[in-house]
A and B are shown apart, each in its own frame.
Chain A
Amino acid sequence: MVYKVGIDVGGTNTDAAILDQRNRVLAKTKTPTTPDVSHGIEQALTLVLEESGTDRDAVQYCMLGTTHCVNAILERRSLNRVAVIRIGAPASKAIPPLFDWPADLREAVCHDTYLVEGGNEFDGRPIGDLNERRIRTIASELDGKVKSVAVTSIFSPVSGDHENTARDLLAEALGESVFISVSHEIATIGLLERENATVLNAALRSVSRTAVRGFRDAVTKLGLRSTLYLGQNDGTLMNVDSALRYPILTVASGPTNSIRGAAFLAGVKNSIVVDVGGTSTDIGLLKDGFPLESARPVVIGGVRTNFRMPDMLSMALGGGSRIRYRSGVTVGPDSVGYHLTKDSVVFGGSTLTATDVAVALGRCKLGDPGRMTDRSRELLKAVDAKVHGMVEDGIDKVRITPDPLPVVLVGGGSILLRNRLKGVSQVIRPEHFDVANAIGVAIAEVGADVDTILTYETSSRREGIDRTCQMAIDRAVASGADPRKTRIANVEEIPITYLPGNAVRVRVKACGALGAAS
């Protein structure tokens, strides 16, 4: 038997779950996050191993989802100074690097910025030659002064040549210990956003090493010989080597892991996940196991990137939502939040909340139901109808086909809802949801994507797409996917306005099974 452990290190709790090779959850745990990364992970690992009684040698994979990197950026903590090199001058001079950054973050991260001649056009031809002499001069200036360099060249997602040459020259001059991030390996079209992500990536050098070392130490200390993976923004995994090179790809993994974990626990791939909290409800759609992406860019610590979050519909409805009635009943939008166990009626308070109504209707047992007995049945029913109307409306807004889909109901506030909802084939309340993030990372596959522009004049469509798919597969394999079990999960083509030669934006995602333990 082969086992895997998913671990999620959040700001408050470190969760872990151990799964067998058929993805059955054998044990789970929730422990407080410790300041020392390794210790918290070790604690959580020890607990799930003990509880499940698993043979340590049989734990083949450990997956980590972590907020280390994103928190470091938000708190401007332990970030490395970065030499920011942009290739493409004279183009792009109008907006210098880091121009739109919050001043404190720029101060914490920026060593200096450099604009160098070079870069490419949209179809890959060079704008001009890369000024290699200038790169060498910059390298000699930087020698001994910085540990991190970010290199971003115009249209590098179409041709990475200038970035690769610059990296080689810098590495040759500065030595292997200097961490060089090149933008085409990190993000996509949109110079400023890609540059931002690359600079943040370079700044996360120490933070990611600490996190990975902590993860590795904890695993080794417990005598596990597992292969390690980290969760990425898009809900796939990458191996430790890739995580050390691309730490920025972990910053938005939380929401994706949570929604994927929930759907997985419910045993459905195409579904709607409804997460009812104390104050708000988030509704998201999963298509073939992955959440739909939002159109809005992810902003981290005040910096625009071109990463995408899952598209979630948020509503002001939760267990603590306040109920009022005058001419009709209203639910929320305000909530007593975490004061629920003090302020709500069933807990001895005087504020009528959605939870009180659910208790009075016998939907759940909480506090003292006796405190609700004198409420009018009519009022209770009106509130209940309102709550369900809101959720059913939300579900309807999120779905993209009229077919009834299963709904996965999670979160503390889900006690408000009954098991039959309009337009829903089935309501599933999965077990173990409290560790959904850890499950989400444990069930993930290794993945990688490529996002570029193809011009179908210079090559045929088939050739272009095939080449791009191969690149995505190569990247997935480099990130730890089993080469024999790696496939293309998704190909998206978006025609681009005003570009000649049928230019299209092509996004390809490759996914693969976990590679053999090394």
Chain B
Amino acid sequence: METFLRQEDLEAIALGAPILGTGGGGDPYIGKLIARQAMSSGRPVRLIGLREVPDRALVIASAMMGAPTVFVEKVPSGEEAVTAFLALEEFLGERAFATYSIEAGGLNSTIPIGTAAKLGIPLIDADGMGRAFPEIQMVSPTLYDIPATPMALADEKGDVVILKHTITNRWTERLARSATIDMGCSAMIALYPMTGKQAKKALIAGSISFARRIGNRLTKAWRTRADPLDAILSETKGYLAFRGKVVDLERRTERGFAQGSVKLSGIDEDKGKELVVHFQNENLIAELDGSVLVSVPDLISMVDTETSVPVTTEGLRYGLRVAVVAIPCHSKWRSAKGLEVVGPGYFGYTAPYRPVERILR
């Protein structure tokens, strides 16, 4: 089954993706506009299932790397993503059959759509996270020992960098991060080249249509005056973990990441309780009255209680009233290796991971 993406799909993906962005991942607004512009001047984009990718075909992820704050100010020229993609193809000596999103949560959900439209290739309905994470190695292909390299980075000035080989995907993160900073903290990248066979095993299937379904359910709820939060919960099989208002907010920058915590004082049924959410770009761990309620790799998203619009960690403000939604992550992340790469331990928390559905029912 294949479908061509329409304007409405783009809107829906941009609306649903931030729920999977768990407070980080950047606002897909600009990515959506780029894709819209590319779709109106380029070719229609086919969304294909993983199963339709031939085993021996080459697929390459297209993404933005750097600071979302820079991305909304130094908007791309529109050529960077294609430049990086073509540079990697040239280096590999092979044309890609399709592109895919490395991160369906946040702005990297819409970036590959623009690339696909410009190059006239399909977009695979899959991603490497099923959510958002802060670093390059935090993707499901890492669990299958698939390297991020060879990788290409391009900036709007015309600079192109190829990382030929790195010893681990964590090293790719380090080296690519340095290059990105010199490029002005925003670069477009092409990475994780792999075969269709590898993709079927390593990627998380259905992520793009998942984001689209969330967006569509939200729009429908607004239109029919149904409860948008119910729509999110039923579509994501998520749990309403807490309702509260922001009464304290602490932020600091460490190792280039915006870290901090937000204290929510309960409202409605949660009156009298307190939830603290720790974040590093994304929401990592939520503690109810001092004990861990939900943690990575499960998804912790906050939405405005009035509008059910997702709230990012940078958008948190005193007094803001939010509903905290906990969504089970993809099962790949729950393996021993998955937890090693993105579990609470990696982010410096000692509490063992417990799947959200065993805690919240």
CA distance A396 to B30 in the complex (A): 36
- The contact of B67 among A396, A496, A502, by CB within 8 Å, is A496
Query: Which residues of chain A from 338 to 364 have any CB-CB distance to chain B below 8 Å in the complex?
Result: none
A190 with B72: CB separation less than 8 A: yes
Q: What is the size, in residues, of chain A's interface with B at 8 Å between Cβ atoms?
A: 51
A499 with B79: CB separation less than 8 A: no
Instruction: Report B-chain residues with C-beta under 8 Å of the C-beta of A459.
Output: none
Q: Does B288 contact A (CB under 8 A)?
A: no
A504 with B245: CB separation less than 8 A: no
Q: Give the interface segment out of A104-112, A171-179, A288-296.
A: A288-296
B185 with A499: CB separation less than 8 A: yes
CA distance A494 to B247 in the complex (A): 17
B37 with A498: CB separation less than 8 A: no
CA distance A493 to B252 in the complex (A): 9
A100 with B79: CB separation less than 8 A: no
B257 with A498: CB separation less than 8 A: yes
Which B-chain residue is minimally distant from A292 (CB atoms)?
Answer: B319
A497 with B258: CB separation less than 8 A: yes
CA distance A42 to B321 in the complex (A): 44
Contact count A vs B, C-beta below 8 Å: 159
CA distance A412 to B156 in the complex (A): 57
Q: Give the interface segment out of B202-210, B216-224, B309-317.
A: B309-317
A295 with B185: CB separation less than 8 A: no
Q: Does A95 contact B (CB under 8 A)?
A: yes
B8 → chain A closest CB, angstroms: 16
Instruction: Report A-chain residues with C-beta under 8 Å of the C-beta of B265.
Output: 402
Q: What is the size, in residues, of chain B's interface with A at 8 Å between Cβ atoms?
A: 57
Query: Which residues of chain B from 312 to 336 have any CB-CB distance to chain A below 8 Å in the complex?
Result: 314-321
Secondary structure class of chain A's binding surface, majority of residues: loop
B133 → chain A closest CB, angstroms: 13
One digit per residue, 1 when the CB lies within 8 angstroms of any chain B CB and 0 when it does not, for chain A 271-294 equals: 000000000000001000000110
One digit per residue, 1 when the CB lies within 8 angstroms of any chain B CB and 0 when it does not, for chain A 486-509 equals: 000000011111111011110000
B33 with A122: CB separation less than 8 A: no
Q: Identify the interface centre among B24, B76, B315, B317: most chain A CB within 10 Å of its CB.
A: B317
One digit per residue, 1 when the CB lies within 8 angstroms of any chain A CB and 0 when it does not, for chain B 72-90 equals: 1111111100000000000
Instruction: Report A-chain residues with C-beta under 8 Å of the C-beta of B227.
Output: none
- The contact of B315 among A88, A295, A495, by CB within 8 Å, is A295
A273 → chain B closest CB, angstroms: 13
B320 with A154: CB separation less than 8 A: no
Q: Does B345 contact A (CB under 8 A)?
A: no
- The contact of A313 among B33, B247, B268, B321, by CB within 8 Å, is B321
Instruction: Report B-chain residues with C-beta under 8 Å of the C-beta of A484.
Output: none
Instruction: Report B-chain residues with C-beta under 8 Å of the C-beta of A493.
Output: 251
Decide: A503 near B253, CB < 8 A? Known: A121-B184, A497-B314.
yes
Which B-chain residue is minimally distant from A453 (CB atoms)?
Answer: B69
B307 with A296: CB separation less than 8 A: yes
* A–B Cβ pairs within 8 angstroms, 29 of them: A91-B74, A91-B75, A94-B38, A94-B77, A96-B37, A119-B74, A122-B74, A122-B184, A127-B156, A292-B318, A293-B317, A295-B304, A295-B316, A295-B320, A311-B319, A400-B246, A494-B251, A494-B314, A495-B251, A496-B67, A497-B257, A498-B66, A498-B68, A498-B256, A499-B69, A499-B185, A499-B256, A500-B256, A503-B253
Q: Which residues of B contact A (CB under 8 A)?
A: 24, 30, 33-34, 37-38, 66-70, 72-79, 114, 134, 156-158, 181, 184-185, 245-247, 251-253, 256-260, 265, 267-268, 271, 281, 304-307, 309, 311, 314-321
Q: In the complex, given contacts A189-B72, A500-B185, what are 9 additional A-B residue pairs having Cβ atoms less than 8 angstroms apart?
A: A88-B74, A90-B79, A90-B156, A91-B77, A285-B319, A292-B317, A400-B245, A498-B185, A500-B181
